[in-house]
Amino acid sequence: MFKRILIANRGEIACRVIKTARRMGIETVAVYSEADRDALHVEMADHAVLIGPPAASESYLVIEKIIAACKQTGAEAVHPGYGFLSEREAFAVALAEAGIVFIGPNPGAIAAMGDKIESKKAAAAANVSTVPGHLGVITDGKHAIKIADEIGYPVMIKASAGGGGKGMRIAYSTSEVEEGFGLATAEAKSSFGDDRIFIEKFIVDPRHIEIQVLGDKHGNVIYLGERECSIQRRNQKVIEEAPSPLLDEATRRKMGDQAVALAKAVHYDSAGTVEFVAGQDKSFYFLEMNTRLQVEHPVTEMVTGVDLVEQMIRVAAGEKLSIAQKDVTLKGWAVESRVYAEDPFRNFLPSIGRLVKYRPPAESSSDGITVRNDTGVQEGGEIAIYYDPMIAKLVTHAPSRAAAIEAQAHALDSFYIDGIRHNIPFLSALMTHPRWREGNLSTGFIAEEFPQGFAAREPEGDIARRIAAVGAAIDRVIGERKRKISGQMIGRAVIRERRRSVWLERAEIPLDVTREGEDFVVRFVGADGALGQPHLLVSPWMPGDPVWQGTIDGYPIAVQVRPIPNGVRLAHQGYEVAVNVFTEREASSARWMLVGNKADTGKKVLCPMPGLVVSIAVTEGQEVKTGETLAVVEAMKMQNVLRAERDGTVKKIHATAGATLAVDAVILEFA
């Protein structure tokens, strides 16, 4: 077994590999760019080596620098994580030539499977079901249009070396093919250094299901069940689960057998994933094979009990697989949510900055429920513009799918982040969505259920009453704390009014709140003024705690708490609302208060996130129509197209291509 390994990656996956290596008694070496000097993976590793400037093309993607770091520290092997150099055949070859072991598949398997075009040819040769498409390289936009017309719309434009949703576009028309080809090519070159593109038929209403395979250097290959990854946005996975609610045992075995046959055909000898696009009728077609550890590998680990990172290391060291296919059993259900630094209320645009507060739910395992948080950040750390916006992967495991989802919803409500925008409100809303809970999934789920994007919602019904009750309990605790401040003048004893008017923004909920020892009893006031049934709230919450953890009538609940003037801002199950608690007299006065209006910036196009201006598509004085491209801004390896929201004439352009802009910087304005 290796004594010391180097992790050629950063963020949560580097931390993930370090944890397993430490448990195995293996020393670790971290590499880092100047932007990651204070990163968590650098702190966790036994040794760390600076490898260059922030840009990945000058640090994490430079093979020579990784090999030099190995030689400098005496690392015997390299784990590539995912992304960066993980699927680069040249990297595995260079390591071998330097006498360093690659903790991953052999170069031949990477060449055959890592290239999306070659992998489809290999799959067809191994009698694996494949999607109709053009497996040759596309030369330019006109060539792309010709091929798309022949295949029939809609089509998927994909980077041959792609992954993680980068370099991928769906096109429903000729014009979308031309634009999508250009954007996919640019993203592919930026993310992978390889701008080759291919086109295939896009299966309507599909599900994304993948099989985890594991092979060794002695010809043994097994599969470890499947993962359902259909909840995607912009072709990037958001929520994953294992097993899939679609598959039965016969379909699972059929997919697994095909995945193993393909892996054996290329002599696969590590952890890898064979991805399929599946129809709602359980038909399936080979999509691609990822010759690396997947982002979503934890859900497979949770339902099988197999540490995939450990298996990769042992296989790379020459050991035989210690488990056979008959030993693989799926126990319970696991759900994973990807927590990203992006603003769901602004069309999921990237958000950068410092993590002023970072308080994930505690990792735990009790009563059949396991909570796991794979992360690469810590409080006080900075989310930079240069890399993928992932903050963490929150995973829950339980005996059933419903229980795993319930645990995930509670864990998300307990996940407190301040300093940047993040997608936790969206993830929380997804966990309570009826269609998700039913398992009625497709890759179009988010586009279909949130056609106008994700917007702030006003809580209603039980959710509103639950938030109001928590708000009243918090107000009561804060009020009692104020009465204990020393140095107050002696006067009449304070008699606290029980009746309160709780405002969720401007919606009023009258209630009655009293103390019973350490607990609270809340009764809602009916339209006739009568008190409703009592609700018991139990929580140890104290002022300053970022999350109100407790129970309402015995039901566990977590609500995020942020102080605002004269109240708190509460977040729960995707709802986020300002809460003010008034006495009845205060409420009668508050009703007369005017509500301010936001400034109108409708004539200005603002930079939606910190980023690099790739191009400006218009000129001053030009007339544009709704939907026309105005500019392209790149951030966190994704190119974002800014389009005109209405017809107009460009009055002034404030930015130029190549400029780096802050969020809300003016790009151009209309007359």
* Residue 349 belongs to domain with CATH number: 3.30.470.20
Residue-wise pLDDT tens digits, 59-74 = 999 999 999 999 999 9
pLDDT value at position 601?
Answer: 59
Q: Are residues 261 and 277 in the same domain?
A: yes
**Region of poorest pLDDT, from 186-200, 436-450, 540-554:** 186-200
Phi, psi of 343 (to 5 degrees): -100, 105
> Is residue 177 domain-resident?
yes
Q: What is the CATH number for 616?
A: 2.40.50.100
Residue 626: Cβ within 10 Å count: 10
8 Å CB contact between 52 and 58: yes
pLDDT value at position 152?
Answer: 86
8 Å CB contact between 113 and 268: yes
Q: Are residues 325 and 354 in the same domain?
A: no
8 Å CB contact between 82 and 13: yes
Q: Are residues 428 and 528 in the same domain?
A: no
> Is residue 489 domain-resident?
no
- Percent of the chain past pLDDT 70, that is, above it, reads 97
- Count of alpha carbons within 13 Å of 115, Cβ hemisphere only? 18
Residue-wise pLDDT tens digits, 627-641 = 888 999 887 667 888
pLDDT value at position 449?
Answer: 95
CA distances from 249 to 127, 243, 614 (A): 21, 11, 49
Q: Which residues of 559-578 are buried (b: 16+ CB within 10 A; e: fewer)?
A: bbbeeeeebbebbbbbbbbb
The DSSP output letter for 349 is E
- Percent of the chain past pLDDT 90, that is, above it, reads 70
Q: How confident is the model at residue 158 (pLDDT cuts 50, 70, 90)?
A: confident
**Alpha carbons 404 and 439: distance in angstroms, whole number:** 13
pLDDT value at position 107?
Answer: 95
Q: How confident is the model at residue 602 (pLDDT cuts 50, 70, 90)?
A: low
Task: Choose one of 590, 623, 644: the last residue of a domain.
Answer: 590
3-state SS, residue 83 = coil
pLDDT value at position 417?
Answer: 97
pLDDT value at position 549?
Answer: 96
Which among 324, 321, 332 is positioned nearest to 299, based on CA atoms? 332
87 vs 663, higher pLDDT: 87
Residue 456: Cβ within 10 Å count: 12
CA angle 408–413–416, rounded 5-degree value: 120
| In the block, residue with structure tokens 């994007």 | 453
DSSP string, 609-665: SSEEEEEE---TT-EE-TT-EEEEEEETTEEEEEE-SS-EEEEEE---TT-EE-TT-
197 vs 402, higher pLDDT: 402
Q: How confident is the model at residue 327 (pLDDT cuts 50, 70, 90)?
A: very high
User: Long-range CB contacts (< 8 A, 24+ apart) of 86-89?
Assistant: 86/8, 86/9, 86/291, 86/292, 86/293, 87/114, 87/161, 87/163, 87/290, 87/291, 87/292, 88/63, 88/114, 89/114
Q: How confident is the model at residue 231 (pLDDT cuts 50, 70, 90)?
A: very high
Q: Are residues 95 and 84 in the same domain?
A: yes
> Is residue 596 domain-resident?
no
The answer to whether the bond into 344 is cis (omega within 30° of 0) is: no
> Is residue 659 domain-resident?
yes
Q: Which residues contact 493 (CB under 8 A, 6 or more apart)?
A: none
Residue 113's Cβ-count burial label (10 Å; 0-12, 13-18, 19+) is: buried
Q: Are residues 327 and 337 in the same domain?
A: no
Beta bridge partners of 286: 130, 276
Question: Regarding beta strands 27-33 and 4-7, do their DSSP bridges make them parallel or antiparallel, or are they unpaired?
Answer: parallel
Mean pLDDT of 287-297: 94
Beta bridge partners of 48: 30
> Is residue 410 domain-resident?
yes
Question: Regarding beta strands 221-233 and 236-242, do their DSSP bridges make them parallel or antiparallel, or are they unpaired?
Answer: antiparallel
Residue-wise pLDDT tens digits, 15-27 = 999 999 999 999 9
DSSP string, 187-222: HHHHHHS---EEEEEPPSS-EEEEEEEEE-TTS-EE
> Is residue 490 domain-resident?
no
Mean pLDDT of 43-51: 98
pLDDT value at position 121?
Answer: 82
Residue 277 has pLDDT above 70, yes or no: yes
How high does pLDDT run on average in the chain?
92
Q: Are residues 11 and 71 in the same domain?
A: yes
Q: Are residues 178 and 317 in the same domain?
A: no
The number of distinct structural domains making up the chain is 6
Show the beta-strand stretches assigned E in 279-332.
284-290
Q: Which residues contact 211 (CB under 8 A, 6 or more apart)?
A: 223, 225, 226, 255, 256, 259, 273, 274, 275, 276
DSSP string, 441-486: --TTHHHHH-TT--------HHHHHHHHHHHHHHHHHHHHHHHT-T
Residue-wise pLDDT tens digits, 95-143 = 999 999 999 999 999 998 877 777 888 898 898 988 877 767 788 889 9
Q: Are residues 123 and 262 in the same domain?
A: yes
Task: Choose one of 590, 615, 646: the last residue of a domain.
Answer: 590
Q: Are residues 366 and 351 in the same domain?
A: yes
Residue 622 has pLDDT above 90, yes or no: yes
> Is residue 23 domain-resident?
yes
**Alpha carbons 356 and 379: distance in angstroms, whole number:** 6
Q: Are residues 324 and 391 in the same domain?
A: no
Residue-wise pLDDT tens digits, 525-577 = 998 989 999 999 999 999 999 999 999 999 999 999 999 988 999 999 999 99
Residue-wise pLDDT tens digits, 368-390 = 999 999 999 999 999 988 888 89
8 Å CB contact between 242 and 439: no
Q: What is the CATH number for 562?
A: 3.30.700.30
Task: Choose one of 186, 201, 216: the last residue of a domain.
Answer: 201
Q: Which residues contact 476 (CB under 8 A, 6 or more apart)?
A: 496, 513, 515, 520
Six token digits for residue 271? 């952890």
Q: How confident is the model at residue 599 (pLDDT cuts 50, 70, 90)?
A: low
Q: Are residues 466 and 580 in the same domain?
A: yes
| In the block, residue with structure tokens 């008190």 | 531
Report residue 263 CA to chain centroid gap: 28
Range of 16's domain? 4-103
Q: Are residues 118 and 235 in the same domain?
A: yes
Q: Which residues contact 388 (CB under 8 A, 6 or more apart)?
A: 11, 83, 164, 636, 637
Amino acid at 198: F
pLDDT value at position 164?
Answer: 65
Q: What is the CATH number for 70?
A: 3.40.50.20
Reply yes or no on whether 288 is catalytic.
yes
Report residue 622 CA to chain centroid gap: 39
Residue 223 has pLDDT above 80, yes or no: yes
> Is residue 171 domain-resident?
yes
Catalytic residue among 210, 288, 336, 406: 288
Which among 496, 495, 527, 523 is positioned nearest to 511, based on CA atoms? 523
